[in-house]
Amino acid sequence: MQRQGITHGGSSGRESCRAGMNGGRQACMATCSNTIMFLNCTDSILRSPLDCSATGLCYVYVNETSRVNACEAAPICCTLKAGGSATAYAIRARETGCRAYTSFVNLQMNLPVNRWPEPGMEFQWVSPPEPICGNQVDCDGNSTCGPDPNSNVFWSCLCNSGLFWNPIKGVCAASGLGLI
């Protein structure tokens, strides 16, 4: 069973996808297919946008499964349907907040708990953007170092006129995405 707790620290797009990072820009995110159950939570979590209601899906899970027997007496349990702006939040276990979590991919909430899929988490990789630059020396002859139109922080090697960014090859190419 895949379950995260304090000793494991949890997940976020930034941490789980660190190998795919490009100068601090997020390379992947949890998809909207994930339903995340936060377990053994403190009352500080009640100020969050999570569903911590007594009739919420997390309590259905805790009450109907033996998988979380250590959390059966959990005073607070919350659910998050990941995706969209919710992916901006880190998914983590810690002393203040929630001490454990589990996640289900493509959960059909109308099914009884004993028919739910095995726990898991689905991530979507984001195509790599143009490389970050500090000045023109960092870019090749097919691009110019300039303010990244998608960021207030980064400067990127932006493709020169008539060229297009090919995220597969990692270069500026002459025809569309240059995938051929």
Nearest to 79 by CA among 119, 107, 52, 109: 52
pLDDT at 14 over 50: no
Residues 119 and 149 in one domain: no
pLDDT at 62 over 70: yes
Range of the domain at 25: 4-125
Question: What's the rounded mean pLDDT across residues 17-40?
Answer: 67
Residues 11 and 69 in one domain: yes
Residues 40 and 66 in one domain: yes
> Is 8 part of a structural domain of the chain?
yes
pLDDT at 96 over 50: yes
Residues 107 and 148 in one domain: no
Residues 15 and 53 in one domain: yes
Residues 21 and 72 in one domain: yes
pLDDT of residue 135: 95
Residues 152 and 121 in one domain: no
Residues 78 and 160 in one domain: no
pLDDT at 149 over 90: no
**What does the alpha-carbon distance between residue 123 and residue 102 come to, in Å, rounded to a whole number?**
15
Domain count for the chain, please give it.
2
Residues 64 and 27 in one domain: yes
* DSSP letters for 84-137: GGGGGS-B---SSSEEEEEEEES--TTS-GGGSPPP---EEEPPP-SPB-SSGG
pLDDT at 4 over 60: no
| Cβ-based burial of 67 (10 A; exposed 0-12, middle 13-18, buried ≥19) | middle
> Is 141 part of a structural domain of the chain?
yes
Residues 47 and 111 in one domain: yes
pLDDT of residue 147: 94
Which residue has 């597969």 as its token pair?
Answer: 168
- pLDDT tens for residues 152-179? 888 999 999 999 999 888 899 987 544 4
> Is 89 part of a structural domain of the chain?
yes
